[in-house]
Structure 1
Amino acid sequence: MKNKKLVNTRSTAIYTRLSRDDGAEGESNSIANQKTLLTKYANNNELENIVYYTDDGYSGTNFNRPDFKRMVADIELGLIGTVLVKDMSRLGREYLQVGYYTETFFPNHDIRFIAVNDGVDSAEGEDDMAPFRNVINELYAKDISKKIKSSHRVRGMAGVPLSQPPYGYMKSPESYKKWIIDPEAAEIVRRIYKMALEGKGNETIARILQEDGILTPMSYWRKKGLKRAGKDTQVNPCKWEKNTIKTILANQEYVGDVINFKTYSKSFKNKRRIKTDPEHWKIFKDVHEPIIERDKWELVQETINKGKRRPSNKGYEESSLFSNLLFCADCGSKMWFNVNHPNDKIAFYMCSNYSKRRGTCEGTHYIRADSLKRVVKNELRQLGSYFINEPEIFAEIIQQKFSQNNQSKKKNLEIELNKLSKRYDQLILLFEKIYEDNLSGKIDDDWFKVMSKKYSDEKSEIITASTKIKSEITKIDEQLSNKDQFIGAVRQFLKFDDVTPDILKTLIEKIEVYHAEGSGKCRTQRIIIHYRFIGVLDIPREFHNDNIVMEPRAGVRIEYIPTKEKSA
């Protein structure tokens, strides 16, 4: 038995949770009633230093709850000694996850766990009925999910909007089934369409709205106190993204239509929404008051489709050559490919987060595409020279780099595999126990079938996960083949003395570009190449070529300096 006084020196966490799915269980499950019950229990049992954690509106199958995560973090910091819940279902309704916390996480952190109405107190020893309660709670969640899905299907086929109203609309206070116009936001939507019809692009529209101090949809909803899915990661609440403009301009619901079944989820345990093919959408026309006239909306769609057909980067090899390889060395953002419109023979890259284009990065990190190609080609020639002149040393260094980078990854995989193995052994013991309990009459045949199926399903999941991890470990152990593939790509480059997308993607993980330094006619620009599997490679000086020097514009010389590591 645990020392109750020991855990009482730390705080007592009272955790309460309520979701929409709990509505049928009445007032007894309200947050206020949960807190009253648990506070009274804590006071009567000398559990001191109470800290409250509350998740209101979160499903029991979702363990990514804000206050639950905060409580877990406090437990890991050693601040909590006791966790108090009304019943097991308040902790969660997914029996594997609940089992992990009650059987592994809490004991490992010396947590006394109490579920008042279920009579569970870890200080009194193991509760044989806990696994059954967890299964019942999960079956309840599954049943609720089926009923909700069926209800949604019926409402969706009847033309009732299933999604949240888009920016510009709000739910009618008289009926959640109806959308009405939100005058303030609708005016911004009309303005966006007006600018689009005037020929302004998404980036331009976004910049104008930002300059005028217009709150983004997410910031607007937050200001209104409305909960919406998604994270508001922008520091500037008025920083509009061009993709937000794109979404608004493509949304057919602004003409008064309701579009249902645009997304779906595969399982009640997996909340990730998957996009449905448009052919499976259900569209109901003229259901609510339009913000945009239908003919104007269709005209905007024609403009958008014309833009899609414009091959802006066609004919520029560099746009695909360095695709997904270039990053800003200062802020880590991707580098965007651009074409100089006055002189379309000049292609270049710049930081996608540049401040003067409404980002936060101070420098453009501008680099000409032809200059970059020459610099990378020069670096690969040095790499090839090293390989030709010192093949054994080169191969040994590559192997060492492979081993260093994969050692940590392999260790983490082995730890995870060990956890799965222990859980598998636990399941064997649990199955033996319910088998014996069934024989002795402690549990009936129906419950034995339910439990044995659950354990069997989890064993299958563990076998699948273990097989995947073992495969990844095997791949790491076979890094020699990757080393040979890397050396093969070096040979391929030496054979043709040219860079291709295949060669670059085999050899290079990423290229970091710094902003050019200096002023006047002579400047320098640093570049770091990170090779795949091995990171930054320090090539001996005797194999170095002269740095590439180019004149990107008249009167300006830039020396490109491949750097081995970032300066402090």
Structure 2
Amino acid sequence: MNNNGVGQQKQYTAALYMRLSRDDGIGESASIGTQREMLRSYAQKHGFIIFDEYVDDGCSGTNFDRPAWKRMIADIERHKINLVLTKDLSRLGRDYITAGQYTELYFPAHGVRCIAVNDGYDSAGPYTDLVPFKNVMNEWYARDISQKIRGALHTKMEAGAFIGNYAPYGYRKDPQDHNRLLPDSVSAPVVKRIFRMAADGRRPSEIAEALDQQGTPPPSVYRALRLSQQMPPDFSKRGWSPSTICKMLHNVVYLGHMVQGKTTKLSFKSTVVLQNAPENRVLVRSTHEPLVPQRVFDLVQKHTVSRRPAAQGTFVNLFSGLAKCADCGRNLSSSGTGQKGKKGLVCSGYKLYGRKTCSSHFIRYTVLCQAVLRDLRVQLNLSSTQRQQVLHDMQQNIPKAISDSEQQEIADLQTRQRKLKQILRQLYEDHVSGLLSDSRFQDLLASFGKEQRALTAQLSVLRPRTAASKSQIADIHWLETFCRVPELTQDLLFAFIKRIDVGQAVCIQGGRAYRRQHITIVYAFSKPEK
């Protein structure tokens, strides 16, 4: 019998799990290389067969949404592994509740032994009572680090130091002090021109159209060009939008003031981001050079307020997510009709970018409601036999959840995509520093760029499908309730309709001019023959 009280006969197939995050420091004792050497040596000494290595480099331990961890769990589910070998329990994770569920419940239920070398922990041994306390201490460490980082960032914000990843459009980070903003020689004049046009009474949509006509790249494209980053996937179609102009016209950063702390995370273990109320944000005045005088800024605000329509109650678009543009496939978005209290729907591409992207596809909201309700009543005028057939069809057409293999493939593609981004950034740095010749740089850039485009195409095909529950379509009584169709509701629309394609209206001239517009309703069932 060995020191751990485990029989010599059983053969163990080990997964070597390694993790390192920025919170853990970058010392040699915690490096991936050191972890790998330690675990390989331990496995060899104890006669364990190494199945694979699972490395989450740069991943936080406060959540378990990590590529290598999920791949290891998938291999456990396939019964390829019966031993998890790691440096210490904090490598598994710093969320003591989830870490405890794995060590106390999941691993034993799947016949997996777990060894944390530095902690002296072996799930096959008798001394495992202190593990929950170690998990609590590991989470406390992460919580303490999070509080210290938040405190340091808040102190910087109160001192007027800029802590964002990217400088606002019109500014750049000071090369000598990245917490200080300097006017950008290229984009600062654009900001000044935007405010001048707004002060002259021009609307955001007119300003956006003027900038597009001049060939001025919008902020996202300009940032990618200036920082040699990967271009947005649809950068050739991107232009200035009225919403971008509106945000800039209300941003006091152009007065030389710094407003930060606009959002906060729900918890150090959560990815949920909450908006802070304006009074809870950190405002520090005169931290950098202004681009716009106060009088011009105030004049722009007055123009904006005078154009803002009065609130007319809450409008709920029942067709949100269902009504699509028949030409470009984008969602239809609500829009005013120019008549008080009346709403219409337009192509969201047209609404954001204008005619260069798509035509309006405008349809009155009431007209669409009447057309859909009328057709639904025809489609749901069913006999009892037909209702049984429709119910069966709808249950059969519910999409299945994405498979484990597809989920793993998506995770692997996303990991490779992040790695390619790092590689491309390093290529630019090596080229600028003279380590790569122009020809070699261009060859590598073309090669990795081609792979990156292929990955993007694969991910778009493998996008997870939404899994519906069959409990949503309960029984024939549920169907009979809807078949009466007294009025349109979102439950009714989403139960029976997959999508509604709205075409561009055509004006027909004749004795009396009128509009003709084609609407295609794609149902979740086929109406049976009587």
Shorter-chain TM-score bucket reads: 0.5 to 0.7
- Partner-residue secondary structure (3-state), 1:259: strand
| 1:145 aligned residue | 146
TM-score, normalising length from structure 1? 0.59
| 1:513 aligned residue | 500
- Partner-residue secondary structure (3-state), 1:508: helix
Structure 2 Cα separation of the partners of residues 360 and 44 of structure 1: 68
Q: How does 1:100-249 map to 2 (within 5 A)?
A: 100-103=101-104, 113-121=114-122, 127-161=128-162, 163-168=164-169, 169-175=171-177, 177-186=179-188, 189-190=191-192, 192-193=194-195, 196-197=198-199, 199=202, 201-202=204-205, 205=208, 208=211, 212=215, 214=217, 216-217=219-220, 220=223, 224=227, 234-236=233-235, 239-240=238-239, 242=241, 243-249=243-249
| 2:268 aligned residue | 268
Structure 1 Cα separation of the partners of residues 190 and 353 of structure 2: 21
Give the CA deviation at 1:136: 1.2
1:84–1:115 Cα contact (<8 Å) kept: yes
Structure 1 Cα separation of the partners of residues 96 and 173 of structure 2: 36
1:354–1:362 Cα contact (<8 Å) kept: yes
| RCO comparison, higher one (Cα < 8 Å, 6+) | 2
| 2:453 aligned residue | none
Show structure 1 runs of 5+ residues with no match. Answer: 410-472, 494-498, 531-535, 543-568
Aligned partner of 1:15 among 12, 15, 18:
18
Aligned partner of 2:324 among 327, 349, 358:
327
- Partner-residue secondary structure (3-state), 2:270: coil
Amino acid across the alignment from 1:22 = D
- Partner-residue secondary structure (3-state), 1:288: coil
| 2:429 aligned residue | none
| 1:285 aligned residue | 285
Amino acid across the alignment from 1:236 = F
| 1:418 aligned residue | none
| 1:528 aligned residue | 521
Q: Deviations over 1:173-210 (max 9, x none)?
A: 54454334454554554455456556253586289459
Structure 1 Cα separation of the partners of residues 329 and 133 of structure 2: 49
Structure 2 Cα separation of the partners of residues 62 and 287 of structure 1: 37
Structure 2 Cα separation of the partners of residues 77 and 208 of structure 1: 56
Structure 1 Cα separation of the partners of residues 308 and 155 of structure 2: 37
- Partner-residue secondary structure (3-state), 1:117: coil
CA separation of 1:124 and 1:190: change in aligned 2, threshold 3 A: farther
CA separation of 1:37 and 1:215: change in aligned 2, threshold 3 A: farther
Q: How does 1:160-559 map to 2 (within 5 A)?
A: 160-161=161-162, 163-168=164-169, 169-175=171-177, 177-186=179-188, 189-190=191-192, 192-193=194-195, 196-197=198-199, 199=202, 201-202=204-205, 205=208, 208=211, 212=215, 214=217, 216-217=219-220, 220=223, 224=227, 234-236=233-235, 239-240=238-239, 242=241, 243-309=243-309, 322=319, 325-328=322-325, 333-337=330-334, 349-353=345-349, 357=353, 372-383=368-379, 385-386=381-382, 390=383, 392-393=384-385, 486-487=482-483, 490=485, 493=486, 503-509=488-494, 510=497, 512-514=499-501, 525=518, 527-528=520-521, 530=523, 536-539=524-527
Give the CA deviation at 1:375: 3.0
2:324–2:347 Cα contact (<8 Å) kept: yes
- State the aligned residue count: 446
Structure 2 Cα separation of the partners of residues 278 and 528 of structure 1: 44
Amino acid across the alignment from 1:97 = T
Give the CA deviation at 1:256: 1.7
TM-score, normalising length from structure 2? 0.63
> Over the residues paired in the alignment, what is the CA RMSD in angstroms?
5.4
1:318–1:369 Cα contact (<8 Å) kept: no
Q: Deviations over 1:283-341 (max 9, x none)?
A: 21111222443333333333433443278xx89x9995755542347876321345788
- Partner-residue secondary structure (3-state), 2:13: helix
More divergent stretch after superposition (231-240 vs 373-382): 231-240
2:38–2:87 Cα contact (<8 Å) kept: yes
Structure 1 Cα separation of the partners of residues 356 and 372 of structure 2: 28
Give the CA deviation at 1:139: 2.0
2:167–2:181 Cα contact (<8 Å) kept: no
CA separation of 1:505 and 1:355: change in aligned 2, threshold 3 A: closer
CA separation of 1:15 and 1:177: change in aligned 2, threshold 3 A: same
More divergent stretch after superposition (279-288 vs 506-515): 506-515
1:87–1:115 Cα contact (<8 Å) kept: yes
- Partner-residue secondary structure (3-state), 1:178: strand
Structure 2 Cα separation of the partners of residues 39 and 206 of structure 1: 62
Amino acid across the alignment from 2:283 = I
Structure number with higher helix proportion? 1
| 2:512 aligned residue | none
Q: Deviations over 1:250-283 (max 9, x none)?
A: 3222322122432233433223221122133332
CA separation of 1:14 and 1:363: change in aligned 2, threshold 3 A: farther
Amino acid across the alignment from 1:298 = D
1:335–1:350 Cα contact (<8 Å) kept: yes
CA separation of 1:485 and 1:359: change in aligned 2, threshold 3 A: farther
CA separation of 1:47 and 1:408: change in aligned 2, threshold 3 A: closer
Amino acid across the alignment from 1:133 = K
Structure 2 Cα separation of the partners of residues 357 and 276 of structure 1: 30
Structure 2 Cα separation of the partners of residues 121 and 330 of structure 1: 61
- Partner-residue secondary structure (3-state), 1:289: coil
| 2:462 aligned residue | none
Structure 1 Cα separation of the partners of residues 472 and 81 of structure 2: 39
1:38–1:86 Cα contact (<8 Å) kept: yes
More divergent stretch after superposition (508-517 vs 250-259): 508-517
CA separation of 1:151 and 1:106: change in aligned 2, threshold 3 A: same
Aligned partner of 1:53 among 52, 55, 62:
55
Amino acid across the alignment from 1:143 = D
Q: Deviations over 1:47-104 (max 9, x none)?
A: 6576462432x43213334555566567667887765533221222101222344455
CA separation of 1:477 and 1:367: change in aligned 2, threshold 3 A: closer
Structure 1 Cα separation of the partners of residues 227 and 83 of structure 2: 37
Structure 1 Cα separation of the partners of residues 71 and 235 of structure 2: 26
